[in-house]
Amino acid sequence: MADDRPVPLDEYPVHQVPLSMKHVATGDRNAYDRCIFHVIDHEGRALLILGLGVYPNVGVVDAYATLRVGDTLHAVRASDALGEDRMRLRVGPLRILVERPLQDFVLSCAADPADPDGLSYEINWSADFPALWEPHHLQRRGARLTLEGRRFVQAGHCDGWMRAGGQEIRLDAGAWTGTRDRSWGVRPIPGEDGGRFAEEHPTEGFHWIWCPVRFEDRFLMVITQEDADGHRSLNDATLVRRGHRDRQLGWPQAEIGYRSGTRHPERALIHLGDIRKPTELDVEILTSSPLAIGAGYPPADDWQHGTWRGHGWTDRRTYDLSAPHALAAYGVTDHAARFRLDGRVGYGIFEHGSFGRHDPSGFADFTSVAP
């Protein structure tokens, strides 16, 4: 018999439907609620990516952290049974403490006593700009809704420390930038047969840019998603300045310079603005971290979000990124980048994924790469 007693969060006036906060309003097994944080070194020497997610209809909570230093990626992943206390954002050694919602966070990873050279950190992440809604994200395969997500994005600064590989890295707020994304809804997780719609509506191509950028006095968010023929299903470019109304910058168009023989971007130029005041965002890639390696995003082959690994599962490992990885070619990669806009220099993430056919880029199929 199911345990239908109230949970602690039911004490608060946060309900949206006449259900306990133990339950979500959909029975879709792919229901999720999660976050991602980026901690970016302005010189490109290190990139930390971490996140935590709950998957209420499969009863799983998990978290991860990856730190790239040089060509080594240090990873920690943890998974457990989802409990009743949703305010406790902790899985194994990984923790996110919300000190002030939408403003201040403490991000931490406890050291492994058996491996003192493994990844650990404690970082204060503080917002410099208000959170910005991203466009409502919908995706269908045939007649079925496969993805519906609500997200907001934010940028700020960081201080604290990280340790990995016998090295300690101190974070100075003036030399590090933080970005973060918070999302919830329905999103595919492993373990489901695609059935008829997957067979009759195969994915031909996918082209994605997600680009939060922090400047000293402003925050810029650019996001686009295109199908194989270039049809745009997601589009936004918004500039946020304190004391000003958010400014929409039209229909962003990206020129991406790929490394020969790959789809790995080495540089990009994003055209923004309207006919009255066009402008260009110059993108200089500093370092890169494929989300399919260590961080649990598809098509990772050693662990993916929302998968049951038993009670109290923790995994630590390192990856060598000096050689090409097949997983990186068919997944999304987060690139720490230096940006230039109207004479200003900023820092953030150029998240990019391009696989399959994409007519505007000249890619004919899944094997196509830049000349």
Provide the domain count of the chain.
1
CATH of the domain at 73: 2.40.370.10
Q: Which of 200, 341, 362, 239 is nearest to 281 (CA)?
A: 341
Domain-embedded: residue 219: yes
- Residue pair 130/162 in contact by the 8 Å Cβ criterion: no
User: Is the backbone peptide bond immediately before 299 cis, with ω within 30 degrees of 0?
Assistant: yes
Does residue 15 form part of some domain? no
pTM: 0.96
Would 142 be classed as within a structural domain?
A: yes
Q: How open is the CA angle 152-157-335, to the nearest 5 degrees? A: 70
Spatial CB neighbours of 270, under 8 Å, sequence gap ≥ 6: 209, 211, 222, 252, 253, 254, 255, 280, 281, 283
Q: Which helix (H) or strand (E) holds 58?
A: none
For residue 85, the enclosing domain spans 31-188+195-361
Instruction: Specify the pLDDT at position 65.
Output: 98
CA 192/CA 52 separation, integer angstroms: 22
Q: Is residue 310 domain-resident?
A: yes
Does residue 351 form part of some domain? yes
Evaluate whether residue 212 is within a structural domain. yes
Measured CA to CA, the distance from residue 63 to residue 96 in angstroms comes to 10
Beta pairing partners, 51: 36, 64
What phi and psi, each to the nearest 5 degrees, are found at residue 208? -140, 135
Q: Is residue 19 part of a domain?
A: no
CB atoms within 10 A of CB 134: 21
Each residue's pLDDT expressed in tens, for the chain with a length of 371 residues = 456 789 999 999 999 999 999 999 999 999 999 999 999 999 999 999 999 999 999 999 999 999 999 999 999 999 999 999 999 999 999 999 999 999 999 999 999 999 888 999 999 999 999 999 999 999 999 999 999 999 999 999 999 999 999 999 999 989 999 999 999 999 999 988 778 988 999 989 999 999 999 999 999 999 999 999 999 999 999 999 988 899 999 899 999 999 999 999 999 999 998 767 789 999 999 999 999 999 999 999 999 999 999 999 999 999 999 987 877 788 999 999 999 999 999 999 999 999 999 999 999 999 999 99
- Rounded CA-CA distance 264/238 in Å is 25
> Other CB atoms closer than 10 Å to residue 167's CB: what's the count?
11
The string of DSSP codes covering 306-336 is: T----TTEEEEEEEE-SS--HHHHTS-EEEE
Residue 265 lies in a domain: yes
Q: What is the pLDDT of residue 4?
A: 78
DSSP letters, 229-278, are: T--EEEEEEEEEETTS--EE----EEEEEEPTTS--EEEEEEEES-SSS-
How high is the pLDDT of residue 3? 66
- Residue 195 region, left (φ>0) first, then alpha (ψ -120 to 50), else beta? left
> Cα separation of 50 and 30, whole Å?
21
User: What pLDDT was estimated at residue 184?
Assistant: 97
The number of beta carbons lying within 10 Å of the beta carbon of residue 145 is 13
Reading the block at residue 129, the tokens are 């700009």
The residue length of the chain stands at: 371
Q: What is the DSSP letter of 112?
A: B
